[in-house]
């Protein structure tokens, strides 16, 4: 049986599609074309440059993963399940967070999330001379949300909104705790850094994790790093230790990359497409030299 000829409607639709394609040559086929159009609109003062920046951030947002913005495991402020009311109060005053992961044996065993506002009635009872022995931390913690570090940020933001959750525990590919992420971390990728009243205070840029190992914020001034480690890195060209590491590698580092400066190894713990966030600094047992590197290569 012969095939039926195409209907008049399909011919008309095809003709309309071809006509539309011919009369509308400015079709957008990529994100880069969209960004170009946004920049052109900003230059023409269709909307402010600040709005163009927000649109650019939104266009890049879908490519970001949780691993790009999370707080690494070593930087997590946590509360142990055996903590007393006074212990928690001291921790909240020191760090200023409104939520804390509650752990049992170690940081791989997160049993819940504690909201500091849940403790207000206990503080009020204590001020009035009430009995603080009725305090039960485990009765106050909320079930934690766990997300893989490969999860897209746009999907995470949608999940945060759907579940009305503000914090999630990030798991690595082996099921261990890799860090945590908050809704603020996600939103900052669109609107930039969001500082609150606690961020006005000086942040801790350098934290010791082991006798020869420290986590260092990338924005740490080189002068502060030199004072803490007894080094003499120059700050003539770069002001921050992150800038120095980026210059050493010759590009904006990615998470996991390693650079060596003098007798120190710098491993990137946190970075995104626009900036470096956190470094793991390890003191080496030796200072690499050009001659030593050649010998090692020959031995291999």
User: Does residue 97 lie in a domain region?
Assistant: yes
Domain boundary among 191, 216, 243: 191
Q: Provide the residue range defining the domain that includes 118.
A: 67-191
Residues 186 and 210 in one domain: no
Asked, for residue 84, whether it belongs to a domain, the answer is yes
Whole-number pLDDT of residue 30: 80
Q: Give this prediction's pTM.
A: 0.58
Instruction: For residue 239, tell me if it sits in a domain.
Output: yes
Q: Is residue 8 part of a domain?
A: no
CA pair distance 244, 219, nearest whole angstrom = 10
Report the alpha-carbon distance of residue 2 to residue 101 in Å, rounded. Answer: 70
The answer to the question of residue 230 being in a domain is yes
Res 22: pLDDT: 60
| Residues 43/37, Cβ–Cβ less than 8 Å | no
Q: Are 164 and 234 in the same domain?
A: no
pLDDT along the chain (300 residues), means of 10: 54 61 65 83 82 82 86 87 85 83 90 89 62 76 94 93 94 91 88 59 73 87 92 87 90 86 88 77 70 42
Total domains, the chain: 2
Same domain, 181 and 263: no
Q: Count of H helices and E strands in the chain?
A: 10, 12
Residue 21, C-beta contacts closer than 8 angstroms, at least 6 positions apart: 27
Residues 146 and 260 in one domain: no
Instruction: Examine the fold and report which residue of 157, 191, 225 is the final residue of a domain before the chain moves on.
Output: 191
Residue 121 lies in a domain: yes
Cα 141 to Cα 145: distance, rounded to the nearest angstrom: 12
């Amino acid at each position: 049986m012969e095939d039926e000829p195409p209907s008049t409607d399909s011919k008309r639709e095809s003709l309309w599609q071809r006509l539309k394609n011919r009369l509308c040559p400015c079709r957008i086929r990529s994100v880069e074309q969209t960004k170009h159009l946004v920049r052109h609109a900003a230059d023409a003062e269709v909307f402010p440059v600040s709005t163009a920046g927000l649109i650019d951030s939104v266009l890049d947002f879908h490519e970001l993963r949780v691993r790009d913005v999370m707080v690494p495991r070593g930087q997590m402020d946590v509360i142990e399940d055996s903590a007393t009311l006074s212990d928690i109060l001291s921790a909240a005053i020191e760090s200023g967070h409104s939520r804390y992961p509650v752990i049992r044996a170690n940081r791989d065993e997160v049993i819940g999330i504690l909201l500091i506002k849940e403790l207000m009635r206990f503080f009020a009872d204590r001020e009035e001379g009430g009995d603080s022995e009725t305090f039960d931390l485990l009765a106050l913690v909320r079930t934690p949300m766990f997300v893989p570090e490969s999860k897209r940020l746009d999907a995470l933001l949608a999940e945060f909104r759907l579940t009305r959750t503000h914090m999630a525990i990030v798991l690595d590919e082996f099921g261990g705790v890799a860090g945590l992420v908050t809704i603020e971390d996600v939103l900052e990728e669109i609107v930039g850094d969001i500082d609150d009243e606690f961020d006005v205070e000086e942040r801790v840029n350098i934290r010791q994790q082991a006798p020869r190992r420290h986590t260092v914020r990338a924005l740490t001034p080189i002068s502060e790093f030199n004072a803490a480690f007894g080094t003499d890195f120059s700050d003539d060209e770069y002001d921050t230790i992150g800038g120095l590491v980026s210059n050493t590698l010759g590009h904006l580092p990615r998470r996991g990359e390693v650079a060596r400066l003098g007798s120190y190894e710098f491993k990137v713990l946190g970075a995104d497409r626009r900036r470096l966030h956190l470094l793991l600094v390890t003191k080496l047992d030796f200072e690499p030299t050009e001659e030593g590197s050649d010998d090692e290569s020959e031995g291999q």
